[in-house]
Amino acid sequence: MKSLLIGMAMLVGAGGNLLAQEKDMQIEDLLSKMTVEEKAGQMTQLTLEFVSKGDGYAVASPHELDPEKLHKVLVDYHVGSILNCAGEARTPERWYEMISQMQEYAMQKSRLPIPVLYGIDAVHGVNYTVGATLFPQEVSLAASWNPEIVEKMAAITAYECRASAIPWTFAPDLDLGIDPRWARIWEGFGEDPYLASEMGVAMTKGFEGEDVGDKDRVAACVKHFVGYGAPRSGKDRTPAWIPETMLRELFLPPFQAAIDAGARSIMINSGEVNGVPVHASKWLLTDVLRGEMGFQGVVVTDWYDIWNLVERHHVAADRREAVKMSVLAGIDMSMVPMDLEFTELLIDLIKSGEIPMEHIDAAVRRILIMKKELGLFERPVTNPKDYPLFGSAQHEAVAKEAALESITLLKNEAVLPLKKDQKILVTGPNANTMRPLNGGWSYTWQGHKTDEFAKKHASVLSALRQFAGNKNVKFVPGVSYEMEKTYEYDKRDDFEKAVAAAQDVDVVVLCIGENSYTEKPGDLNNLALSEHQHALAEALLATGKPVVMVLNAGRPRIIQQLEPNTAAIVHTYLPGNHGGEALVDLLYGEANFSGKLPYTYPRDVNDLVPYYHKFSENMAHNDGNEYTDPFFNPQWEFGFGLSYSDFVYSDMQINKSSFEANEVIELSVVVKNASQVDGKEVVQLYSTDVVASITPSVKRLRAFEKVSLKAGESKTVRFRLPMKSLAFIGADHKPTLEPGEFVLQLGDQKESIQLTGVRMTF
């Protein structure tokens, strides 16, 4: 049985110290030889465009490195890290050729042979490498509720990253998806800190393995520390207001879990928390992250964010002050990304004594240690010829498996599974394009070239035609995306023809949602489904034909007016290159649904409340007046998902009814597949603290296990839950456990237990 809880260190960041080590004499010797200029260079990270032929971000096509720029950056300025893809995907061979050229300047033409650390956003596979295996995005993986498949995905990504000569990935994203309006909610593992922690640990272990220096492993970079996913406006890179109790209870635990799992680096939140930009917060970066949480790895900024202390946040008067502020706060490496001013200003600040040399040495030491742990001093580049499984059928099979386990059935009124001989109308803007199946960070930042690079893979339409035959599948778009514009633009496209075509088929498969996007371009002003798509859905529903609504989007879009008349609703999230095939297998019953929602799916645009809300958010005032409607009324709850199987829970057992704080709760429940269809069920364990000095959540996820059950089979699922794992963050910002009643829930089974003793803090 899988582990249940990462210890109470998660709640406060008491923290593991997996990276602690004796001083490395090789690193200390190298550090002692380095000049101020060389140290400042190691703390600098520039984007690929800056060393490429061309002008600024307008690089030459085809792309080429510029030898003069390389010499200036790597030899004259001693820059330690390069990132990104200069706007294009490239083959492993081209990555190898390019990074080899960089390492030649860094290792052979520089005074000291220090390798370049190349980093990339390999967030759902090596998404900037042509031919790489692209997996479901993190939100989809969270919907699988299967950490094992996440670890497999990350291990394959690491392998294919190294096949591309790249040793560092900016993943996993452990931002808590607490606000469904946020453009980056799909980049994380949903709204729950425990689910995110389990998935984050699995991804970190998959990337780094037992030895991060192995030729098929990469360093993880956990992002974005911390509170990034809860902007008050719902828009990217805007302020968050998070009470410290909430910050420690919900937002820190996933990062602590990844640190305890050995994550080598962390990227910082571009926004501000409680009025302080995180890049300038010594409290968060030094006192909490390094002091309480025990993180000893590399802290890297996000894109341009030191300059944003001047330009967006207005906490620094000029760039010199911004550099001083951020480095003293705890930044090791600046993702500048397009100038050398950071390096020059940092040199000046060191020489003036405004930043102590021991502070600089600590940062550079961490960078050099990570480079050594990755094996870059001995093997600065890895060759694609040593990676025969790159993009293999073996790897692609895991990507399809991940898609199959994540796609979630939300409604089914006996229309699914479809029959192979039924006549199908396929319509909607998401039917005949690979862009929305993959989302952003796919071949390009916004995913706008995905159809060009993913031609060998099947869209929903192609997969349906391959399975059911062209004669049974008719396609009329009805609405299509304006691909040259930002993601939310769509237009009518044979709208009336699509509605008319519905009259001649048995079932309509309506593919709607969002086009690809990420970060600020994905900001929206209305969580409702787009006007054209909503109109298409209404018109098709009015025909009386059964409509299977396929929601293909990175966040929930409001569909409450459409849901009552829709025969079936399937949420694919962003399932990757094999999403079309996986969806069709599920629609026709070739495979069974087992995905569960990793977030609360809201019913209304202003009702954006997570499942772990407080009791006062869930019930009306009990004074006898007319306002008696419940306040928590989502379209579907967190953890919800249907199947072709029927699962029945019974015989919940707990080893005893009364516990002390240092004891372990042993629970079990019998789960039966009471159907004729084999299936998988996610058994979810929730707890409720009935009375607490800080208002408790209605419930909290404490453990889960995904189990396979053949038709008619029963299994006893067991959990061990430390009593201390039920603690909450008290008013003193410490984990607190108070005596009293707790309710534990497995499926529809509930039992109460008592905690005895006195109030405890940890």
Task: Please give the positions annotated as active site.
Answer: 302
Contact predicate 172/150, CB 8 Å: no
What SS3 class is residue 636?
Answer: strand
Token pair, residue 19, equals 């990276």
Cis, bond preceding 388 (omega within 30 deg of 0)? no
**CB within 8 A of 467, min separation 6: which ones?**
420, 584, 585, 588
Token pair, residue 111, equals 């005074």
Which amino acid, 663?
E
**CB within 8 A of 22, min separation 6: which ones?**
none
Q: Which of 120, 255, 91, 248 has the alpha carbon at shortest distance from 174? A: 255
**Angstrom distance (rounded) from CA 168 to CA 183:** 24
**CB within 8 A of 55, min separation 6: which ones?**
none
**Angstrom distance (rounded) from CA 700 to CA 689:** 9
What single-letter DSSP state applies at residue 251? I
**Angstrom distance (rounded) from CA 78 to CA 407:** 47
Cα 74 to chain centroid, rounded: 32
Contact predicate 717/669, CB 8 Å: yes
Token pair, residue 16, equals 């593991």
User: What is the DSSP track for 122-135?
Assistant: -SSS-TTBTTPPP-
User: What is the DSSP track for 314-373?
Assistant: ---SSHHHHHHHHHHHT--BEE--S-SHHHHHHHHHHHTTSS-HHHHHHHHHHHHHHHHH
**Angstrom distance (rounded) from CA 345 to CA 350:** 9
Contact predicate 130/453, CB 8 Å: yes
